[in-house]
A and B are shown apart, each in its own frame.
Chain A
Amino acid sequence: MSLHIVSKSPFSSTALSDCLDAFAEGDALLLIEDGVYALSGRMSERPAVQPVYCLAADAAARGLQIPDSVTAVDDAGWVALCAEHNPVVSWFK
């Protein structure tokens, strides 16, 4: 099952919506870099998919709170998610 990593803001890029179109049952979504801005928009209350993870450091750097529906991960957790899923797909356009 795939891990989708979104690194661009949904307010400036279609990366998140493109990713959600390709999201399959059993996949996981990880928000990093400006991708964490999704937490202030469509992911803030009821995420479109599950499970959703977020790099805690990138959210903290942008002053964003991580809602209960999203799991915060540190760098070790990021590596673990990549090890648990195959392939790892990065969305940055």
Chain B
Amino acid sequence: MKFSLAVYSAPHSSQAAASALRFARALLREGHQLYRVFFYCDGVHNGSSLSAPPQDETDLLAGWQALQQQHQLDLVVCIAAAQRRGVLSDSEASRLEKPAANLAAGFELAGLGQLADAVAQSDRLVTFGG
């Protein structure tokens, strides 16, 4: 079965972002497909390459990147939500004349249409928020 996930929560602000990664791992382990993960609202912080959690805590970014590499996942960060919160790709940083870019490798910026497309193309959308 084809799943997509929508992640609305920043890492470490609640358990939701960690639950999303855990669910993504579980569904792939069970042989399902993950069509897209769409990071929206505060969830865009999951795509920041600058997060540096303590070594004895879960590194969600490393978890997403490893899963992305292993399964060629489509990890999409909402571009409008990301600009507001300071998650920028190289091209967005230079276009907006900002001093640095921080979008993590394995993630890409795109519009909300990609969430609508994920809903249309997937059998299930599971949302993680709060």
Residue numbers of A with Cβ under 8 A of B are 5, 7-8, 13, 15, 32-34, 58, 75-76, 78-80, 82-83, 86-88, 90, 92-93
Please state if A83 and B130 are interface contacts (CB–CB under 8 Å): no
Please state if B129 and A92 are interface contacts (CB–CB under 8 Å): yes
Q: Which residues of B contact A58 (CB under 8 A)?
A: 15
Tell me the number of A-to-B contacts counted with CB atoms below 8 Å.
Answer: 59
10 contacts between A and B (CB under 8 A): A7-B16, A7-B129, A33-B19, A34-B15, A76-B26, A76-B29, A78-B26, A82-B3, A87-B124, A90-B129
Interface size class on chain B is 20 to 34
Q: In chain B, what residue has the closest Cβ to A75?
A: B26
Q: CA of A64 to CA of B32 in the docked complex: distance in angstroms?
A: 31
Please state if A92 and B130 are interface contacts (CB–CB under 8 Å): yes
Please state if A8 and B130 are interface contacts (CB–CB under 8 Å): yes
Please state if B19 and A32 are interface contacts (CB–CB under 8 Å): yes
Please state if B129 and A88 are interface contacts (CB–CB under 8 Å): no
Interface centre among A8, A15, A82 (most CB of B within 10 A): A82
Interface centre among B32, B129, B130 (most CB of A within 10 A): B130
